[in-house]
């Protein structure tokens, strides 16, 4: 029986790999990586290969989503294979589907977890993790049309006093990354279209850039101010807090520069 292990790479670079991950990666027959579901800002595949002493083959979206049976699963059927994944391995439905397919083919699977934006956003901002509601991705317009889902999720969470984590769309293979400015503009457009008073220019938001990296930035303020704030390069996320506990507010003051 073959073996397929999903290894989380964390948020910053190859040094986010745990010692256990490195041991496993050195022991397998073949190592693949996918770098399109998220962006690891300081990752070097060359340094990663030097660290592991092995070749790492980077898969495209089509390799993993359309040709998995001919690529990674065909290998894992015969030998031990690792798939390196940004963040935590099982937070993208692509990887869950791949793991299910592997198990159905009789391939034994394992997961080695790592930090992701879902754990880092509460940790970095000081917002209490159990007060986050449903998360949602703000996507690029398709055919000029905006998805209304982010607005609906924010409305639902806000009614319950919960924080909302917005993931911002990326098209890694095209080198296209949604900015916090883009996300703010889309939310304000959705408010204009829906008109239910869910979000506005003065709504409190927290912009996150390169969280988990030495050059990471966290900035809290009105959305109109976040739209013009000079955040560094991607990746980005945006949080709109719900009802704030006094400790959460103090954390945003100290960790994210929240003013009056």
Q: Which CATH superfamily, name and number, covers 3-112?
A: Tetrapyrrole methylase, N-terminal domain (3.40.1010.10)
The pLDDT of residue 1: 66
Q: How do the domains of the chain map onto residue ranges?
A: 3-112, 117-256
Which residues, in sequence order, are CB contacts of 70 under 8 Å at separation 6+?
none
238-258 residue pLDDT tens: 999 999 999 999 999 999 999
**Nearest-angstrom CA–CA distance, 110 and 122:** 27
Section 64-88 average pLDDT: 93
The pLDDT of residue 65: 86
In the beta sheet, which residues pair with residue 108? Answer: 3
The architecture (CATH level 2) of 117-256 comes to 2-Layer Sandwich (3.30)
Asked if 223 and 201 touch (Cβ cutoff 8 Å), the reply is: yes
125-170 residue pLDDT tens: 999 999 999 999 999 998 889 999 999 999 999 999 999 999 999 9
Q: Of 93 and 185, which is predicted with more confidence?
A: 185
- pTM of the predicted model as reported, rounded to 2 decimal places: 0.93
Which residues, in sequence order, are CB contacts of 235 under 8 Å at separation 6+?
38, 39, 41, 117, 168, 170, 177, 209, 210
- The pLDDT > 70 percentage for the chain reads 99
The pLDDT of residue 208: 98
Section 214-223 average pLDDT: 97
220-236 residue pLDDT tens: 999 999 999 999 999 99
Best CA proximity match to 178, nearest among 258, 124, 223, 234: 234
Output the average pLDDT for the chain: 95
Extract long-range pairs of 62-67: CB within 8 Å, 24+ residues apart.
63/34, 64/34, 64/94, 64/98, 65/94
* DSSP count for the chain of H helices, then E strands: 10, 12
């Amino acid at each position: 029986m073959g073996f397929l292990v999903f290894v989380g790479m964390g948020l910053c670079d190859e040094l986010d790999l745990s010692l256990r991950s490195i041991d496993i990666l050195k022991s397998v027959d073949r190592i693949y990586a996918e770098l399109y579901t998220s962006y690891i800002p300081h990752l070097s595949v060359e340094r990663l290969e030097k660290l592991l002493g092995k070749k790492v083959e980077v898969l495209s979206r089509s390799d993993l989503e359309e040709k998995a049976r001919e690529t990674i699963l065909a290998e894992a059927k015969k030998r031990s294979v690792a798939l390196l994944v940004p963040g935590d391995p099982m937070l993208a439905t692509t990887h869950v589907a791949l793991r299910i397919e592997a198990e159905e083919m009789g391939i034994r699977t394992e997961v080695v977890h790592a930090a992701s934006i879902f754990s880092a956003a509460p940790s970095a901002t000081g917002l209490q993790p159990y007060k986050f509601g449903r998360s949602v991705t703000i996507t690029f317009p398709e055919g000029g049309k905006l998805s209304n889902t982010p607005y609906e999720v924010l409305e639902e969470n806000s009614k319950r006093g919960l924080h909302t984590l917005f993931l911002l769309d990326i098209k890694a293979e095209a080198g296209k990354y949604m900015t916090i400015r883009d996300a703010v503009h889309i939310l304000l457009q959705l408010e204009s279209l829906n008109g239910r008073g869910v979000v506005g220019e003065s709504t409190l938001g927290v912009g996150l850039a390169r969280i988990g990296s030495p050059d990471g930035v966290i900035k809290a303020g009105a959305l109109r101010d976040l739209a013009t704030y000079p955040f560094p390069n991607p990746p980005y996320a945006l949080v709109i807090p719900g009802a704030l506990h006094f400790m959460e507010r103090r954390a945003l003051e100290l960790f994210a520069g929240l003013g009056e």
